[in-house]
Structure 1
Amino acid sequence: MITGHMNGYVQEAKPGVRERAVDCPGEEEGADHQSAPNLVKSPQCPAHTERVKHYQEELRRRREEEAASRGGKHEIDPNASLRLKKLSQNQKVGIDNPTFENKEKISRESVPDYVTDVSEFIESLRWAERCLSDPQSLQDTEQLLQFLSSEEFHSAYSIYSVVSQQLSHVSPTSPITTQAQDLCLEVQRILQSSQQKEGLELRTLLTNPHLQALMQAHDHVAEQELPEGQVLTQYLGESVKLVRLEKTRDTPLGATVRNDVDSVVVSRVVKGGVAERSGLLSEGDEILEINGIPIRGKHVNEVHDMLQQMQGTLTFLLIPSSQIKAAPHRHTVMHVKAYFDYDPSDDPFVPCRELGLSFQKGDILHVISQDDPNWWQAYRDGDEDNQPLAGLVPGTKEAKMALIQHAHCDSTGKHWYGKKSKKQKKKSLTSTNKNDGDEILTYEEMSLYHQPANRKRPIALIGPTNSGHDELRRRLLSIEPEKYAVAVPHTTRNPRIHERNGREYHFVNRTAFEADLAMGKFVESGEYEKNLYGTSTDSVRHVVNSGKICLLCLHSRSLKVLRTSNLKPYVIYIAPPSQERLRTLLAAEGKTPKPEELKEVLDKAREMEQSFGHLFDASLVNMDQEQSFHELRRLIDRLDTEPQWVPTSWLC
């Protein structure tokens, strides 16, 4: 078997592709267009009755060979037909049974239940007869006892009991077959040479015009009851189904297959494909034929190549899956933000590389299926129209494995993780790295949020020194002071002559400041010339409650504290341009930085983006102050008109 999972981890000597998608959009984009007309059209699908007749002829031929090997003796072989085999398992009762008067000679363990029921009824009737004195009642009771003891009643009641027992074990929710007429003909052929009493009686019954009309009506109704495109029948003792699907370039099938010894089995039904929309293919179905071409024994790559060349109507001959399908892990779409980069081409454990969905840290993924807890099916936000089939992304278990293996960085130096504060555990999907005890966030569940008109989200501008984020904040405050404001900071220094408490600063003593700091009331804090400074969440909340937009220039380390509050910040990363462009911008401001200082700014920016990029809601490169200013205003104004993705925990 090509694939295998145990406890969420892949058990395989060599990692590699274990499933093969039967068709993937865009696989042939690089092919020579001149070869397109040579695509093999699907052969015309024969009627399913012709296919069934073919298998029936094969059955008849095998039975004749078996009969010849027995010396030409033609006896009814109950194992020749699945239904006859089932019926033969029930003992023939009624005709040769002893009379009920002698039932005391037979142990109750060897008497069928229905015989016991009737005998108990006869005993009760005889007991009642002894209590009767009315001649008419005695005569009626005697006639009833004679009827119950007659051979005809025994036979009729035996048949009734056997049929009732069969029906009690079989209660199909849909027709078992649409080929009842063909099955009758098959049994008649088996009985042609039989001279046994039961065989002659059954053949007479099956050739009765009323029964044949009943079988015809049954098949007509069954064809309407079965799902469109699906027909169930019998093939060498196996229940099989014929499924027809329409395949075009624009409507991929959306299924993967795997090898199980010599069999080719449907391994996964992908959301968005024809197979998923039709509901006719199921995981675990074994593919016997496709348009009359035998599939058993073929490698999944051969099946892939064959289906790549087929268009139009495809007819699958399948053995339905016998496994009980588990309930879906989650019925609704879950929206998550990815906190690591993922490239399926670099992942040796992805079950089907063609369906792997690449994404970057910060991307929003719409997870539409978690039926496989190890590999979710998802769309990347914004790509739904261009992505006909859902892609495979690692579930939390698989993501945890990747993150642990790439504990801090992969071979390219890209970080695969973002650490998470303890207050953010709710409504997030995490895995733990036991080496350092920190919580590693793989995905975080997100929801759309539209800010109220009277309660604007605070804007946090993040960037290294000399990136220009502080200059952008000052310009916004000077141009639109009625719209923007800053939070009044706290300090332990003494106020100057022109300063007023609550306007320039909140002046507090050191003891009160340190107590608030210990309680986590400050978004950020620091010490300068033996005085403490900090911006409290209450100060930010005061600006938000006033209806203005609070502008913050914060160190990236302060983001975690800000996000754990109920302030719902919108974080914009201001990235510096190239080293030469940064030198020009700083020179325009009268600054002459040294080359090592410029390099330090760029290194700090890269470090900040790698460590905290998953917390950024938007980014812009400060190539030009004027252009960056207009782009910044556009991003802020968009919050009034467009809903934004925020952690679901913020809305609880």
Structure 2
Amino acid sequence: LEELQQALKWARRCLADAQSQQDVELIVQLLADEDFRNAYGLYAAVSQQRTRVGPTSPLTVQAEDLCQEVQKILQSSQQETGLELRALLTDPHVQALLQAHDGVAVQEVAEENRTQYLGETVKLVRLEKARDNPLGATVRNDVDSVVVSRVVKGGAAESSGLLSEGDEILEINGVSIRGKHINEVHDLLQRMHGTLTFLLIPSTQIKPPPHRQTVMHIRAYFDYDPSDDPFLPCRELGLSFQRGDILHVISQDDPSWWQAYRDGDEDNQPLAGLIPGKSFQQQRETMKRSIMDRSRERQGGKLWYAKKTKKPKKKNPPNFGKNADDDDVLTYEEMALYHQPVSRKRPVALIGPTNGGHDELRRRLLSLEPEKFAVAVPHTTRNSRIHERNGREYHFTSRANFETDVASGKFIEFGDYEKNLYGTGADSVRHVVNSGRVCLLCLHTRSLQVLRSSNLKPFVIFIAPPAQERLRTLLASEGKTPKPDELKTVIEKAREMEQNFGHFFDATIANVDPDQAFHELRRLIDKLDTEPQWVPTSWLC
């Protein structure tokens, strides 16, 4: 060190520019600093000690655990002779020394003392596992072996980089694992926490080159409870979600079990969760339906899931009002964030049963802010009246033209009333959108699929009626006197809508208080201008 200082002083005199002299001066000051000299002295002592002949391997990799056991023994003892040793072992410096010793020992054993286990090269891996937190890996049985089948993103196993898929686990903290069922291994790991030492036979699988995982955002169209899924590889790693939740899928390496985060949980839940893959979920739901249908048919009972009843059709064209894919198994839909342009507002569809309050909310919006909200001018085959003008109250057309437009898919919704046809055309909605106003729609639920496929990017809000007595009060304030059966029908119809079409709803408003429901509706509509919303990626193609 002294020789280096002398050389730097000589070099400083030989340098011509001021910047180089300042650089050398900084190094000289560092070498003269007392803390640096103490650190260098410690380094020199350790280096000298390492040159001496010592044991080829550490005597233990669990010095810290042994220290804790000794402390427990001394704590239970009432003798004063152990007080001094107990004070020494609880000293923070000694505990840090033992922790550092175990860390170095594990690396030495893993790197220098690779040995043979029944003719196989093995390695030692040490991981830290928090109490009551999963390790972030799943295992499978391969005859008598227990093999790592999956490493979950964000867990201790994945962040360490020491466990790989295909590694065979021989021991965990000295407990032999070979021959155990995966449920036994699971229960064993649940009881363990702190430092876990794995004895492994490394995987011989040829690993593909690392690639950047593309995150896929999906909306769930079914409820999922991991505790009720017997096929889940590890229940503690399952991610529960409800219909309508946005999920961020970060890994589809296993087509049956994707790894995902629920929207908003990424920061609070670093460990990804397992969810059923789309194809796997479709297959087992289809199989479940088939089995239950056959069982019900044999027993002469009803089907276990709701199917649309086929009502007698009126004189309508073929496929009049038919929705495609009604019986498809709903799993997930890929989503993307979308911010509506200032000049092209998304249509807002209010959905709800008759007398549920959605018509009243629409009329209130139109009357208070006609410059912001508008309705699409409907089409009809009836004759115009004296005060009506074509294109203002209605688009008047012939039945032949109306039915031609129906066959061409130009209507979002249509039907007949008193032998005349009425309908809402997609072009009429588009005309309102192009004017910069919000088009308000009150539609039947069966029209939602047509609306969603129309490239209009609708925002669908379900207006849920209140409980029966409250509903009676609200309708009475409007001068209506519904019978108990009619009130019950409104509530049952709302429940049926939510069950069968709830996956199409972007938001739900409970119409318990009309003023509160109106303000909540305005808040949701205003939010479309300020915040991006999740929409199907197919809308943005």
Q: Do they fold alike, i.e. is TM over 0.5?
A: yes
Q: Number of paired residues? A: 419
Q: Deviation per CA, 1:393-418, whole angstroms, max 9, x where unpaired? A: 11123211332134298999985999
DSSP-derived class of the 1:640 partner: helix
Structure 2 partner of 1:615: 504
Contact kept in structure 2, 1:258 and 1:264, CA below 8 Å: yes
Name the residue aligned to 1:6: none
Give SS of 1:407's match: helix
Distance 1:270 1:229, change over 3 A: farther
Give the AA of the match of 1:574.
I
Matches of 1:400 and 1:302, distance apart in 2: 31
Distance 2:400 2:207 in 1: 63
Q: Per-residue CA shift, 1:264-319, capped at 9, x if unaligned?
A: 32222111101112221111211223334433344444444443444443332211
Letter in 2 for 1:631: E
- Residue 376 of structure 1: aligned partner: 258
Partner of 1:398: 280
| Larger mean Cα displacement after TM superposition, 300-309 or 638-647 | 300-309
Unaligned runs of 5+ in 1: 1-46, 54-223, 419-435
- Residue 126 of structure 2 corresponds to residue 244 of structure 1: yes
Residue in structure 2 matching 1:280, options 162, 180, 187: 162
Kindly state the Cα deviation for residue 479 of structure 1 after the two structures are TM-superposed. 1.1
Specify whether residues 328 and 555 from structure 1 end up closer, same or farther in structure 2 by C-alpha distance, changes over 3 A only: farther
Distance 1:309 1:565, change over 3 A: same
The verdict on how the C-alpha distance between 1:442 and 1:326 changes in structure 2, with shifts beyond 3 A counting, is farther
Q: Which amino acid letter does the alignment assign opposite residue 451 of structure 2?
A: L
Q: Corresponding residue for 1:235?
A: 116
CA contact (8 A) 1:374 1:395 kept: yes
- Taking the aligned partners of 1:370 and 1:227, their CA distance within structure 2 comes to 33
1:475-500 deviation digits (Å, cap 9, x = unpaired): 01111111111111111122211111
State the 1:465 CA deviation.
0.3
Conservation of the 8 A alpha-carbon contact between 1:230 and 1:280 = no
Shift of 1:330: 8.7
1:555: which partner in 2?
A: 444
What is the match of residue 485 of structure 2?
A: 596
Q: Note if contact 1:572-1:617 (Cα within 8 Å) is conserved in structure 2.
A: yes
2:56 and 2:368 mapped to 1: Cα distance? 77
The 5 A counterparts of 1:306-325 are 306-325=188-207
Asked if 1:650 is matched to 2:529, the reply is: no
Alpha carbon RMSD of aligned pairs, Å? 3.2
2:384 aligned residue (477, 481, 495): 495
Q: Which has the larger radius of gyration?
A: 1
CA distance in 1, matches of 2:527, 2:275: 30
Percent identity over the alignment?
74
Aligned positions of 1:28-47 closer than 5 A: none
Q: Counterpart in 2 of 1:128? A: none
**TM superposition shift of 1:326:** 5.7
Of 279-288 and 463-472, deviating more is 279-288
Amino acid at match of 1:552: L
Report what 2:57 is aligned to: 49
Q: 1:348 to 1:528 in 2, by over 3 A?
A: same
Q: CA deviation at 1:638?
A: 0.9
Alignment deviations for residues 169-190 of structure 1 (CA, whole Å, 9 cap, x no partner): xxxxxxxxxxxxxxxxxxxxxx
Amino acid at match of 2:476: A
Give the secondary-structure state (helix, strand or coil) at the position aligned to 1:646: strand
Q: Give the TM-score of the pair, scaled to structure 1.
A: 0.59
- In structure 2, how many angstroms separate the alpha carbons of the residues matched to 1:449 and 1:48? 63
Greater RCO (CA < 8 Å, at least 6 residues apart): 1
Q: In the aligned structure 1, how far is the partner of 2:305 from the partner of 2:59? A: 57
How many Å separate the matches in 1 of 2:188 and 2:232? 23
TM-fit CA distance, 1:642: 1.2
Matches within 5 A, 1:339-488: 339-407=221-289, 439-488=328-377
User: 5+ residue gaps in structure 2?
Assistant: 1-54, 62-103, 297-301, 309-324
Helix, strand or coil at the partner of 1:231: helix
- Looking at structure 1, the residues matched to 377 and 110 of structure 2 have their Cα atoms a distance apart, in angstroms, of 71
Judging changes above 3 Å, is the alpha-carbon distance between structure 1 residues 437 and 614 closer, same or farther for their aligned structure 2 residues? closer
- Find the residue that maps to 1:365 and give its secondary structure: strand
The 1:586–1:553 alpha-carbon spacing in structure 2 relative to 1, beyond 3 Å, is: same
Name which of structure 1's ranges 246-255 and 523-532 shifts more when overlaid on structure 2.
Answer: 246-255
Q: 1:572 aligns with which of 449, 456, 461?
A: 461
1:553 Cα deviation (Å)? 0.4
